[in-house]
């Protein structure tokens, strides 16, 4: 039985047409689910009883569960329990521009980035579209506010779950549904070159972020397994292709690891690599964990790295750091809970 929260408007329209009903029924259902937040067919008014029974017999309304959450200033980290008793995370961040939610797209991750807590627990499976949709619904219900920005940058590699992620975006972007604009949605990838090129042909204006984390192949191969599959040259060419097709600016994420990728030399090499590309760099101070040996770059060197990029003409920002009372690293809350 399919979960109703995982169906795009087109899929619902096709379903109702297939049972001899009108396709406008899909609009009604979306409004019940996402505007009125009804989670039971019995609450659907103006729907014939035979159609209600059909929906009951063919679709599930099951929701994932909030298992626990951690709060600190301007941040809430959620741990969700899924129907198969697996766990995923979402992180809600209060910014001056709105409420941003970072969601998971997989249970575990097979990309194997050595600095990442999520990668320590191998991929169990992809998340279905409904399990991503419900992360938003449950957080909004919990805080009684609307999410304004979404980042698919939690546990998992979104482009390793490409079809489900694309359907998820269609569901939350629909004006009759959650109605989250594509310009407020960002997908982060560690660099699956073939999927970046495919993504360039998708409709909408979803933002693309690249987890780069190194200025050359030598360093990148030491910390990111994907670098053994795709070189930085291949990655940059794919990004240039994406920009030429979409005319959209790309973000390069760069986690600073002490004595690994944070030297002045690395900063100059990074500037040279990205010069002339319609992109900006988001510097990320590292969240240390007990399980991984990497250390956070000291503030003075973060500033030096930032200043070098700025001086070399690269647009650069430093990611805002939130409170230390939550298990901040991606996958850390899930990992600690599983213990």
| Annotated active-site residue in 109, 116, 190, 330 | 330
Pair 16, 72 in one domain: no
How many whole angstroms separate alpha carbon 88 and alpha carbon 63? 14
Instruction: List pLDDT tens digits, range 116-169.
Output: 987 677 899 999 999 999 999 999 999 999 999 999 999 999 999 999 999 999
Number of independent structural domains in the chain: 2
The reply to whether 203 and 261 lie within a common domain is yes
> Do 62 and 113 meet the contact criterion of CB atoms below 8 Å apart?
no
Of 107, 178, 190, 192, give the one whose Cα is nearest residue 149: 178
Report how far residue 317's alpha carbon sits from residue 97's, in angstroms, rounded to the nearest whole number: 15
Q: Are residues 191 and 266 in the same domain?
A: yes
**C-alpha–C-alpha distance, residues 177 and 9, integer Å:** 9
Could you tell me if 38 and 73 lie in one domain? no
Do 30 and 123 belong together in one domain? Answer: no
Q: Of the candidates 74, 108, 109, which has an alpha carbon nearest to the alpha carbon of residue 91?
A: 74
CATH at 149: 3.20.20.70
Cβ-count burial of 324 within 10 angstroms (0-12 exposed, 13-18 middle, 19+ buried)?
A: exposed
CA–CA separation, 169 and 103 (whole Å) = 12
User: 245-278: b or e for each residue (b if 16 or more CB lie within 10 Å)?
Assistant: ebeeebbbbbbbbeebbbbeebbbbbbebbeeee
> Which is catalytic among the residues 13, 89, 128, 157?
89
Least confident of 95-99, 320-324, 328-332: 328-332
Task: In whole angstroms, give the CA distance from residue 332 to residue 203.
Answer: 34
pLDDT tens digits for range 184-193: 999 999 999 9
Instruction: Give yes or no: residues 82 and 38 share one domain.
Output: no
Lowest-pLDDT choice from 58-67, 179-188, 290-299? 290-299
For residues 56 and 72, state if they share a domain.
Answer: no
3-state helix, strand and coil shares in percent for the chain, rounded to the nearest 5: 40, 20, 40
pLDDT tens sequence across 47-86 = 999 999 999 999 999 999 999 999 999 999 999 999 999 9
Helices H / strands E in the chain, number of each: 11, 14
Instruction: Give phi and psi for 65, each to the nearest 5.
Output: -120, 145
In this structure, are 163 and 49 located in the same domain? no
330 is known as an active-site residue: yes
CA separation (Å) from 29 to 8, 19, 36, 98? 11, 15, 10, 28
| Residue 218 is a catalytic residue | no
What residues make up the domain containing 161? 65-334
Q: What is the secondary structure of 43-109 as a DSSP string?
A: G--SS-HHHHHHHHHHEE----EEEEEEEETTEEEEEEE-TTS-EEEEEEEEETTEEEEEE-SEES-
Query: pLDDT per residue over 22-51, tens digit each?
Result: 999 999 999 999 999 999 999 999 999 999
Query: Given 44, 60, 76, which residue is the final one in a domain?
Result: 60
Query: What is the DSSP secondary structure assignment for residue 273, as one 8-state letter?
Result: H
Q: Is residue 339 part of a domain?
A: no
Same domain, 30 and 90: no
Q: Is residue 211 part of a domain?
A: yes
For Cα atoms 293, 80, 40, give the angle at the middle one, nearest 5 degrees. 165
Do residues 192 and 226 lie in contact, with contact meaning Cβ atoms separated by under 8 Å?
Answer: yes
CA trace torsion 36, 99, 174, 32 (10° rounding): -10
Looking at the DSSP bridge assignments, the partners of residue 150 are 101, 185
Predicted TM-score (pTM) of the model is: 0.93
Look at residues 40, 60, 80 and tell me which one is the last residue of a structural domain: 60
Q: Are residues 53 and 77 in the same domain?
A: no
Q: Are residues 116 and 140 in the same domain?
A: yes
> What is the CATH number for 7?
1.10.150.530
| Residue after which a domain boundary falls, among 10, 26, 60 | 60
- For residue 117, what is the DSSP state? S
């Amino acid at each position: 039985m399919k979960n109703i929260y995982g169906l795009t408007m087109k899929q619902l329209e096709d379903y109702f047409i297939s049972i001899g009903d009108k396709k406008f029924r899909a609009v009604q259902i979306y409004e019940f689910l996402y505007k009125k937040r009804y989670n039971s067919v019995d609450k659907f008014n103006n729907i014939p009883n035979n159609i209600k029974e059909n929906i009951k017999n063919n679709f599930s309304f099951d929701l994932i569960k909030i298992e626990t959450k951690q709060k600190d200033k301007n941040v809430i980290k959620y741990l969700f329990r899924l129907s198969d008793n697996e766990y995923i995370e979402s992180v809600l961040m209060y910014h001056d521009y709105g409420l941003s939610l970072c969601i998971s797209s997989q249970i575990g991750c097979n990309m194997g980035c050595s600095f990442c807590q999520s990668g320590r627990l191998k991929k169990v499976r992809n998340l279905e579209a409904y399990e991503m949709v419900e992360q938003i619904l449950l957080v909004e219900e919990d805080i009684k506010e609307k999410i304004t920005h979404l980042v698919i940058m939690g546990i998992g590699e979104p482009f390793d779950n490409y079809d489900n992620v694309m359907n998820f975006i269609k569901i939350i972007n629909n004006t009759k549904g959650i109605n989250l604009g594509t310009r407020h949605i960002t997908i982060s990838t560690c660099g699956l070159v073939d999927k970046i090129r495919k993504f360039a042909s998708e409709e909408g204006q979803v933002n693309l972020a690249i987890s780069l984390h190194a200025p050359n192949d030598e360093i990148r191969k030491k910390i990111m397994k994907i670098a053994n599959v795709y070189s930085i040259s291949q990655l940059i060419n794919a990004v240039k292709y994406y920009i030429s097709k979409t005319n959209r600016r790309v973000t390069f994420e760069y986690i600073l690891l002490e004595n690994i990728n944070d030297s002045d030399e690395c900063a100059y090499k990074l500037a040279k690599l990205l010069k002339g590309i319609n992109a900006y760099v988001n510097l990320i101070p590292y969240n240390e964990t007990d399980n991984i040996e990497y250390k956070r770059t000291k503030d003075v060197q973060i500033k030096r790295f930032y200043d070098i990029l700025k001086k070399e003409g690269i647009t650069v920002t430093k990611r805002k750091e939130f409170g230390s009372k939550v298990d901040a690293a991606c996958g850390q809350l899930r990992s600690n809970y599983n213990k």
